[in-house]
Amino acid sequence: MQTTKKTIVALGEALWDELPTGPRLGGASANLAVMAGRLGSHAVPASRVGDDALGQRYCGELSMLPVDLSHMQVDPVLPTSTVSVVVGHDGQPRYTIHENIAWDAFEFTEDWRVLARQADAICFGTLAQRDTRSRSTIQQLVAATRPDCLRVFDINLRPPYFSAEIIRWSLQHATLVKLNDEELPQALSLLGLPTTTQDEAGWLAAARRLQQAFSLQMVCLTLGSQGSLLVTANEQHRHLGVKTTVADTVGAGDAFLAATIHCALQGASLAERNEAANRCAAWVASQPGAIPVEWPGVEAVLGSTLR
């Protein structure tokens, strides 16, 4: 799989994860962009930080990683976001997400309009649309992309920050959607679609139902330690996951999605996308925090066949 530079714009939260071990860079925008950049894409985190010490430190640490920070917005009033994270015995994180912070106030600037036109892929989620200001900007940016842009919707259901209206609009304007096995029945129920059993046959039926209802190019269903399922109109591929010793799962879903998008833009097969995505997710889960500082390299994480 040969790599050419494609531009991936990651729209979303910029924040500090307050972990038991201390604050770490986080947020869907940075998590996804850093992994995409490490894999070889031109990765652009499009988010907003405060004009404060935490915002300066955030951009300073992120500038040392393979991302393009030239489109980061700075809010003159609202503070940089922090999120309290408690990791359970199962390695699963529990979040306390604070409100009225910088990424609630995205602005649809000329700079971001031009960026949308340059994007080969643009990724947006549910959480960053909780405030009407950022929701309006995200919707305008998605509308401003080229017809061939891969528009990626990450369904991250963090109560109470989602609604059927937001999910439906996002699916109607997406070409690819990613969600996990816990979010799948919730999303189907909110959309008024039949839910199915939580097993192999049920996952496939539900993913296919979602793909057909919104004419999606691909549905990515992550299944925790049981791997993942990728579904298109004509194909599906099931991966059983990569065994690893879990430090925590913060950012693993973002790493999975980054690899999926990167590989899709390179024309990789479903099997190659699934393999790369599971390897990247497993590597992040084996490290503390969403953006591990030390990167062993593409070959070490993906293996020689997927370089």
| The pLDDT of residue 3 | 67
| The pLDDT of residue 23 | 84
Ordered structural domains, the chain, with CATH: 7-306 (3.40.1190.20)
| The pLDDT of residue 250 | 87
Label each residue of the chain as H, E or C.
CCCCCCEEEEECCCEEEEECCEEEEECHHHHHHHHHHHHCCEEEEECEEECCHHHHHHHHHHCCCCCCCCCCEEECCCCCEEEEEEECCCCCEEEEECCCCHHHCCCCCHHHHHHHHHCCEEEEECHHHCCHHHHHHHHHHHHHCCCCCEEEEECCCCCCCCCHHHHHHHHHCCCEEEEECCHHHHHHHHCCCCCCCCCHHHHHHHHHHHHHHCCCCEEEEECHHHCEEEECCCCEEEECCCCCCCCCCCCHHHHHHHHHHHHHHCCCCHHHHHHHHHHHHHHHHCCCCCCCCCCCCHHHHHCHHHC
| The pLDDT of residue 163 | 95
| The pLDDT of residue 85 | 76
| The pLDDT of residue 1 | 56
The rounded average pLDDT for each run of 10 residues, N- to C-terminus, in the chain (307 residues) is 84 89 89 98 98 97 97 98 78 79 98 98 97 98 98 93 96 98 94 90 95 97 96 97 92 96 97 97 93 94 74
| The pLDDT of residue 84 | 84
